C-alpha cells in the first residue's frame, strides 16, 4: 500500500488515479468532519466536494515532509467554516453518544432505566442549544476534540496553531459551554 505522501507526489506528476486513491482514503473522514460541524447531510456532501477541489488545487503547497492527514483535516475545517460564513447562519453540533455517555452513564444501563434515557436526551438537547451560543472557534475545537477524538497535537497540526493554543482554546470552550449549561439549568429550577 502506497503512502499518502507518495500518492501526492504521483498526483503532482499527473497521475489522477493517485488522487482518486487519496479521495477514497479520506472521503469518509472529511465528510465526518464537515457533517459534525454543519449537521446538514446535503450541505455536507457539497462542502466535502469543495474540500477535495481545494485539496486538488492546493496539492502543490503540501509539504511532503509532513503527514497528509492533518493537512487535509485543516482544509476540511477551513472550507466548512468559510462555507458557513458565506451563508451567514448559525449552526448546531450534535454531540455523539461517546461524549454524552461520559457525563450521564453508559447506554447499556439505559435499557432498564427510562428515566436515565430521558435525562440523557434532555442533556443532549441542552448541549445542542448551548453549542449554538458558543463562538464558532470554540464549537470547532469541541467537535475536533470530543467528536472526532483528535488529540491536542493533531488539532494543532490540523489548524496550524500551537499545541498550547489548542489546550487553552479547548479549556476555554469547555468552560464557556459549562457556564452556558449551568445558566440554563439554573433558569429551569
Burial of 141: CB neighbours in 10 Å, binned 0-12, 13-18, 19+: buried
Answer yes or no: do 78 and 26 share one domain: yes
- Domain membership of residue 76 (yes or no) is yes
For residue 63, what is the domain's CATH number? 1.10.1740.10
**pLDDT value, residue 189:** 65
Let me know if residue 92 belongs to a domain. Answer: no
**Is there a domain that residue 183 lies in?**
yes
Residue 18 resides in a domain: yes
Q: Per-residue pLDDT for the chain (189 aa), expressed as one digit of tens each? A: 899 999 999 999 999 999 999 999 999 999 988 888 877 888 899 999 999 999 999 999 998 888 898 899 889 988 987 887 776 443 334 344 334 334 434 444 455 667 777 777 777 777 877 877 888 888 888 888 887 778 888 888 878 889 999 999 999 999 998 888 888 777 776
* Residue 133 located in a structural domain: yes
Q: Tell me: do 121 and 67 sit in the same domain.
A: no
What's the pLDDT score for residue 66?
Answer: 85
Give the count of alpha carbons within 13 A of 149, CB side only.
5
Same domain, 17 and 75: yes
- Say how far residue 127 (Cα) sits from the centre of its chain: 16
If asked whether residues 62 and 132 sit together in one domain, one would say no
pTM summary value: 0.60
pLDDT for res 123: 76
Domain range holding 79?
4-87
179 domain residue, yes or no: yes
**Could you tell me if 133 and 81 lie in one domain?**
no
130 close to 180: Cβ distance less than 8 angstroms: yes
Please tell me whether residues 171 and 117 are part of one structural domain: yes
User: Rounded CA gap, 163 and 120, in Å?
Assistant: 32
Q: What is the CATH number of the domain that holds 110?
A: 1.10.10.10
Structural domain count of the chain: 2
Domain identity same for 118 and 177: yes
User: Is residue 27 included in any domain, yes or no?
Assistant: yes
Query: Does 113 lie in the same domain as 80?
Result: no
Amino acid at each position: 500500500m502506497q503512502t499518502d505522501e507518495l500518492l501526492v507526489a504521483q498526483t503532482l506528476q499527473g497521475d489522477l488515479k493517485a488522487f482518486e486513491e487519496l479521495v477514497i482514503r479520506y472521503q469518509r473522514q472529511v465528510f465526518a468532519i464537515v457533517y459534525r460541524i454543519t449537521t446538514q447531510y446535503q450541505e455536507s456532501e457539497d462542502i466535502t466536494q469543495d474540500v477535495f477541489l481545494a485539496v486538488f488545487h492546493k496539492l502543490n503547497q503540501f509539504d511532503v515532509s509532513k503527514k497528509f492527514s492533518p493537512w487535509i483535516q485543516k482544509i476540511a475545517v477551513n472550507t466548512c467554516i468559510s462555507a458557513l460564513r458565506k451563508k451567514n447562519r448559525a449552526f448546531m453540533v450534535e454531540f455523539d453518544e461517546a461524549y454524552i455517555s461520559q457525563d450521564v452513564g453508559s447506554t447499556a444501563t439505559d435499557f432498564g432505566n427510562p428515566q436515565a434515557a430521558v435525562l440523557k436526551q434532555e442533556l443532549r438537547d441542552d448541549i445542542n442549544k448551548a453549542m449554538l451560543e458558543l463562538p464558532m472557534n470554540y464549537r470547532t475545537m469541541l467537535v475536533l476534540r470530543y467528536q472526532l477524538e483528535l488529540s491536542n497535537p493533531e488539532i494543532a497540526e490540523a489548524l496550524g496553531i500551537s499545541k498550547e493554543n489548542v489546550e487553552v482554546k479547548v479549556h476555554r470552550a469547555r468552560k464557556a459551554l459549562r457556564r452556558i449549561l449551568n445558566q440554563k439549568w439554573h433558569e429551569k429550577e
